[in-house]
Amino acid sequence: MRSEAGSDADGGSILDLFPRGSSVDSEGELVVGGLRLTELAETYGTPAYVVDETALRSQVAEFRTAMSSRWPNSLVCFASKAFPCTAGYAVMADEGIGVDVAGGGELTMALRAGVDPSRIVVHGNAKTTEELALAVQAKVGLIVIDNFDDIDRLESLVHSEQPVLVRVVPGVRPDTHEAIATGQHGSKFGLDGPDVDRAISRLRNSDRLRLDGVHMHIGSQIMATEPFTEAVRALAEFGEFDVYDLGGGLGARYTRADHPPSVRAWVDTLVDAAEQYLPARARLLVEPGRRLVAESGLTLYRVVSVKRGTPSFVAVDGGMGDNLEVSLYDQPFEATIANRLPTRDSPVFDLVGRHCESGDRLIQGVALSDPVVGDIIAVPVTGAYCFTMSNNYNGARRPPVVFCGDGRHRPVVRRETYEDLLRRDI
């Protein structure tokens, strides 16, 4: 759904979707992290992921402060599947929060970046023996039990004591896309019904695994707080423990029509419910992912072709190879030309990608100010789930990641080369 060019029903500007502190300079250039986006595009090429590191650190601090002020015995853990980038892990380590990993690759990157192993939570519904062995060897703080096979594997690997949590199904179905709802009965994640009691009993009798508590996660891109209250209440029914991992799921603002709860409102909802239903002595963990990183990132493209008609198309040099959220989750985005923000009179186009799929349509009905070949298009709020799901469809080379802030920039992931596409051939 398109808003009036340049403003939504509340009069907001597309500038509001870019990282906090972004601006437009006297020549109409969009400036992020103290740098013109057109200049970053010239330096690093397109497509390119850009992360405003200052905005990212500010968002981390907001989550950390909100939790510690309401529940001092708590830990924010970045759900790193949203942005598994070594430089991103290093930011989390430097900011003093934990990290949640869902596989051996994420664990390896987190350790390489200097994340304290004691602040790493390992989860996943199909953890292999190799991945569990890596976690045990690294002495991670918590491993989340998702099934009885996890217990079998861990008991064969652990020789001293490994703290664990049991992931439970709270039976809560939030209003979000089916593909990213995870807390309802029938979910592939966690244990449900009598299986929870069986797992708890078995772990309490284990001489190698130490049951610290329970874990839940109800989904992603959740735009209301009520499901979180319901989920905490459901979690309490599984008994009293030392640790409760409440997961993440707070939605991000992708378009000017979105109005997700604030970080403070989300934390207040969780803590208010914890104060009512959970033991006061317990440690609370939360795992924000999307909301922690989405709004500090953006993607730069270059216009390759403009077709005027019904509809009119603007085709760029990226697409579903660097942003699968549209195809997988029907996630809406907005965009602008980096040096000509739209006006109320700007024409409307479908922004499409270069890949050989009719579904490679990044935005349907976006106002762009007279686009021409060579223009730089900036799509905000791509800091989550774009880099992590980038792919080589049609032989596309995965884009670089550029960190910027305070007028400085640095590449943290290089662009793939054609040689990289051949590197694994035998």
Catalytic residue IDs? 356
Q: Using an 8 Å Cβ cutoff, are 404 and 51 in contact?
A: yes
Round to whole Å and give the CA distance between 383 and 261. Answer: 19
268 SS3 class: helix
Round to whole Å and give the CA distance between 413 and 86. Answer: 9
Sequence-separated contacts (24+) of 94-101 with Cβ below 8 Å? 95/57, 95/60, 95/61, 95/64, 96/64, 97/60, 97/63, 97/64, 98/141, 98/285, 100/287, 100/289
Per-position DSSP letters for 150-172, written without gaps between them: HHHHHHHH-SS-EEEEEEB----
Total residue count of the chain as it appears in this document? 426
Q: Provide φ and ψ at 375, rounded to 5°.
A: -60, 150
Helices (H) and strands (E) in the chain, counts: 12, 20
Q: If you ran DSSP here, which 8-state letter would residue 219 be given?
A: B
Strand 35-36, strand 408-413: pairing:
unpaired
| Backbone torsion region of residue 192, taken as left when φ is above 0, otherwise alpha when ψ lies between -120 and 50, otherwise beta | beta
Round to whole Å and give the CA distance between 314 and 348. Answer: 10
Per-position DSSP letters for 294-344, written without gaps between them: GGGEEEEEEEEEEE-SSS-EEEES-STTT--HHHHH------EETTB---T
Show the CA angle centred on residue 379, arms to residues 377 and 384, nearest 5°.
145
CA distances from 136 to 32, 157, 163 (A): 41, 7, 10
Round to whole Å and give the CA distance between 94 and 88. Answer: 10
